[in-house]
Each structure stands twice: as structure tokens, then as C-alpha cells.
């Protein structure tokens, strides 16, 4: 029997969604009541400048299961999710966007997949989307690339509607714009049973999207490379920098040694005009390889020192909380 106070924790990050928040909360409450779930709703205000926080305060007075965190400024969706994950206390954690494009009616089935079929993560797949083609084509490309790099066969990594075991969200850190790749982070943290469920994609009812532009796809690709590197070498940077530094140094040393021996052979054979070592382009390539090799090795050594002395980060400016302890 679970010792956690709630069956479900719903984490909803939001930015300037004062029109949709009341309707979303009421919808979640109806679903929870119909399925007789014990639950909490954790709303994370990512620096809203409209009336969103005032609405959240009013809703929390009406329903004590509503809890909230407010950022001093906009830190991004990943930061909001990360803080929300630290605050949850439910057996199953559901994440969804606040723009009403995710349907709370999916929650009971997502909960069942986690609790009965023992998935670590179940990711939503918005198979039929209402996004413009300028957004869907790049999204499909990045989903394809992520599948190939990670080996996780999901169609929609960026879907905001996901379900997790509590152990998963307590074991990972999400920062920068890496919320797109939470299944990848979780897999490399040891959670390998990752499933997918086709979910409804609803057209936006209020406001406009807070995410867009070509930069998000460029940043997404760079974040994927970061996740790959950090997961493989974050705790052992010498295994990357040291190996490549050693290879570069050895290649440079062998090349320089070969040039030196060649010069000595010419002198020994009586060649009166042997070619100067510094006149050979290969010598400078070998010299560059030696320098790069030493620098990479030192980078690995410094990385090891930093990783062994690093402490957990707490970088988010939280100004207010509702229903949560420090």
C-alpha cells in the first residue's frame, strides 16, 4: 500500500493563461471526482504578467488540493516542470499544458497504464494535430532524430501530456529547454519501460502560443546533443576529453618523431642540404595535435575536479507558494 498522500499529482506549468486556468482546473476536478482519485494540482507560474496568479490564489482558497509556485521572472517550461517535480507527493505524476490543448479526460487511462501495466513513463502522442505545417514538419524531423539517437520509439517527444511514476520525476533534473527530452533523460537514468498513448489534441481556445520560431528547433537539437554528452560523460569527463586528448597527443608525437628521425637519416647519409624540420607543413600539424592533446587532457582533468566537487543547484527565484512547504 502506498505511503504517499495522493494517488495523482497533476503538474501544470503556465505563462499568462488567466483565461484558461479556471476552466482547466474545473475540468481536472470533474475527472478526479468521477474516478474517485485522491489528487493534488500543482500550478507553476513561470513569471506571468497577467491576472493568472490572482486567479490561482482564488482557486486555492476554494479547493485545498490546489497548490502553486510563482517564479519571480520567466525561466522557461523546463524550470517550471523541474520545480513542480520536486514538489509532488503523488504516486503518479501527470503533466499537462495550461492552454486547454491537453484533455484531462486522458488522466484515468494514463494512471492505469502506470499502475497496472507498470510503465515508468507514458508519453502522449497527438497523432492528429491542429498545428500549422510550419510547426508539424520540423517537429516530425526532430522526433525522428531523437528516436534514432535515443533508441526510444516515441512519435511525439514534445507532447506536454505525460504520466510518470513518482520515482522517475524525483530522479531526474530538467533545465534549459530539455523538457522535450524527458523520456531520454529518464532512460539514461535507468527508467527503461517507456510507453505511448494516442491522446486528443485540442485546438487552442484562448490566447496565443508562448512557444514558437525556428530558434526552438535549433535549441532543441543542441539540447539533445547536450543530454547525450552529459548522460554519457557528465560524471566521467576524463573518459571523453582524456581519450581524445591522448589520441591527439600520440598522433602528434609520432608524427614529430617521424619527421625528426627522417632528418637524422638524411644527415647520417651525408645529405648536405637536408630539409629543415620547420619548413615542413606536417611539422606544424603535429605541433597543433600535441597542443590540442594536452589541452583536451587538461579539460578532462578540470572537468573531473568540478564534477567531484559540484553541489546541487537551486537557481530559480521563487517569490510565492501556496499549500507547499519550503
Which tens digit of pLDDT belongs to each residue from 162-203?
999 999 999 998 877 788 889 988 998 889 999 999 998 877
What was the pLDDT predicted at 309? 66
What was the pLDDT predicted at 220? 67
What was the pLDDT predicted at 212? 52
Can you give the pTM of this predicted structure? Answer: 0.75
What was the pLDDT predicted at 239? 82
| Rounded distance between C-alpha atoms, residue 301 and residue 299, angstroms | 5
71-111: per-residue pLDDT in tens? 999 999 999 999 999 999 999 999 999 988 899 999 999 99
Query: Of 154-168, 192-206, 227-241, 295-309, which one has max mean pLDDT?
Result: 154-168
What was the pLDDT predicted at 96? 95
Query: Does the pLDDT at position 307 exceed 70?
Result: no
| Rounded distance between C-alpha atoms, residue 236 and residue 130, angstroms | 43
What was the pLDDT predicted at 201? 81
Query: Does the pLDDT at position 235 exceed 80?
Result: no
What the block records as the C-alpha cell of 309 is 566537487
Query: Does the pLDDT at position 276 exceed 90?
Result: no
What the block records as the C-alpha cell of 237 is 569527463
| Rounded distance between C-alpha atoms, residue 267 and residue 57, angstroms | 87
Residues 235-259, mean pLDDT to the nearest whole number? 88
| Rounded distance between C-alpha atoms, residue 94 and residue 117, angstroms | 16
Residue among 84, 13, 93 nearest 324 (CA): 84
| Rounded distance between C-alpha atoms, residue 229 and residue 291, angstroms | 23
**Residue 126 vs residue 217, higher pLDDT:** 126
What was the pLDDT predicted at 146? 83
**Residue 302 vs residue 274, higher pLDDT:** 302
What was the pLDDT predicted at 181? 87
What was the pLDDT predicted at 105? 96
Low-confidence winner among 10-19, 50-59, 101-110, 199-208 (lowest mean pLDDT): 199-208
Strands (E), 116-261: 121-125, 162-165, 194-198
Query: What 3 state SS string does 17-65 have?
Result: CCCCHHHHHHHHHHHHHHHCCCEEEEEEECCCCCCHHHHHHHHHHHCCC
Low-confidence winner among 62-71, 151-160, 257-266, 305-314 (lowest mean pLDDT): 305-314
| Rounded distance between C-alpha atoms, residue 60 and residue 43, angstroms | 10
Query: Does the pLDDT at position 34 exceed 90?
Result: yes
125-172: per-residue pLDDT in tens? 988 776 666 666 777 887 888 888 888 999 998 899 999 999 999 999
Dmax over Cα atoms in the chain, in whole Å? 99
Amino acid at each position: 500500500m502506498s505511503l504517499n498522500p495522493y494517488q495523482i499529482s497533476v503538474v501544470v506549468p503556465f505563462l499568462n493563461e488567466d483565461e484558461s486556468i479556471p476552466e482547466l482546473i474545473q475540468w481536472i476536478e470533474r475527472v478526479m471526482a468521477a474516478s474517485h482519485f485522491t489528487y493534488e494540482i500543482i500550478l507553476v507560474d513561470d513569471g506571468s504578467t497577467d491576472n493568472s496568479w490572482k486567479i490561482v490564489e482564488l482557486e486555492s482558497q476554494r479547493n485545498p488540493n490546489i497548490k502553486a509556485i510563482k517564479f519571480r521572472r520567466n525561466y522557461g517550461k523546463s524550470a517550471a516542470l523541474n520545480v513542480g517535480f520536486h514538489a509532488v507527493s503523488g504516486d503518479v505524476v501527470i503533466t499537462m499544458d495550461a492552454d486547454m490543448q491537453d484533455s484531462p479526460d486522458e488522466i484515468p487511462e494514463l494512471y492505469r497504464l502506470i499502475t497496472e501495466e507498470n510503465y515508468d513513463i507514458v508519453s502522449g502522442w497527438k497523432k492528429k494535430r491542429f498545428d500549422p505545417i510550419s510547426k508539424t514538419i520540423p517537429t516530425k524531423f526532430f522526433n525522428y532524430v531523437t528516436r534514432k539517437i535515443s533508441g526510444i520509439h516515441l512519435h511525439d517527444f514534445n507532447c506536454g501530456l505525460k504520466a510518470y511514476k513518482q520515482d522517475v520525476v524525483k530522479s531526474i533534473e530538467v533545465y534549459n529547454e530539455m523538457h522535450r527530452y524527458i523520456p531520454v533523460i529518464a532512460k539514461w537514468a535507468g527508467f527503461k519501460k517507456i510507453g505511448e498513448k494516442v491522446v486528443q489534441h485540442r485546438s487552442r481556445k484562448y490566447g496565443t502560443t508562448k512557444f514558437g520560431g525556428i530558434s526552438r528547433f535549433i535549441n532543441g537539437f543542441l539540447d539533445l546533443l547536450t543530454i547525450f554528452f552529459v548522460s554519457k560523460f557528465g560524471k566521467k569527463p576524463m573518459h571523453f576529453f582524456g581519450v581524445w586528448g591522448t589520441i591527439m597527443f600520440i598522433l602528434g608525437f609520432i608524427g614529430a618523431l617521424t619527421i625528426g628521425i627522417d632528418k637524422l637519416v638524411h644527415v647520417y647519409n651525408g645529405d648536405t642540404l637536408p630539409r629543415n624540420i620547420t619548413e615542413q607543413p606536417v611539422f606544424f600539424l603535429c605541433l597543433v595535435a600535441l597542443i590540442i592533446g594536452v589541452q583536451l587532457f587538461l579539460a578532462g582533468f578540470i572537468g573531473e575536479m568540478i564534477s567531484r566537487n559540484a553541489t546541487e543547484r537551486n537557481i530559480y527565484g521563487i517569490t510565492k507558494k501556496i499549500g507547499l512547504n519550503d
